[in-house]
Amino acid sequence: MAKRTYRGSCHCGRVTFDVELDFAAGTGRCNCSYCAKIRNWSVGVKPAEFHLLSGKDDLGDYTRSEAGHHCFCKTCGVGTHTWGTVPEIGGEYVSIRVAALDDAPIEELAGAPVRYMNGRDNDWFHPPAETRHL
């Protein structure tokens, strides 16, 4: 499958975006303290493939380091994406919350490969021993 443009938004619609991605390239789930609490399922892209269309002033930003700025709508609370810089994964990135995509067909979501990351132990490139809860 090739890259395709998808539309995404928060629940109230104040924050909207387009993103170019290929689900066949894979998605991710992580067990770090943040991702585990929000049951994050995401897909990473380069910043040029993400286009914030509306709601810049409506976005809140939660971060503990420059590695990840977790963006959410200040009105409805729904997280849409994370951005940051992690040299180990190629530098700058935007990670889209799959649940924020409005027009991704269920068949594509169900068929998307999932890579599990062991963020809890800072062993990002190996899956954790248990993944059923993620």
Would you state the pLDDT for residue 89?
81
pTM: 0.91
Question: Sign of the C-alpha dihedral, residues 87, 88, 93, 95?
Answer: negative
Would you state the pLDDT for residue 1?
61
Determine phi and psi for 52, rounding to 5 degrees.
Answer: -75, 120
CA distance 133 to 126: 17
Residue type, 76: C
CA distance 100 to 41: 10
Is 30 in contact with 117 (CB distance < 8 Å)?
A: yes
Residues counted in the chain: 134
Every domain of the chain and the residues it spans? 4-121
Is 35 in contact with 28 (CB distance < 8 Å)?
A: no
Question: Per residue of the chain (134 residues), what is the pLDDT tens digit?
Answer: 689 999 999 999 999 999 999 999 999 999 988 999 999 999 999 999 999 999 999 999 999 877 889 999 999 999 999 999 988 888 999 999 999 999 999 999 999 999 999 988 888 889 999 998 88
**DSSP letter, residue 90:** T
C-alpha R_g of the chain: 14
CATH 2.170.150.70 fits 4-121, yes or no: yes
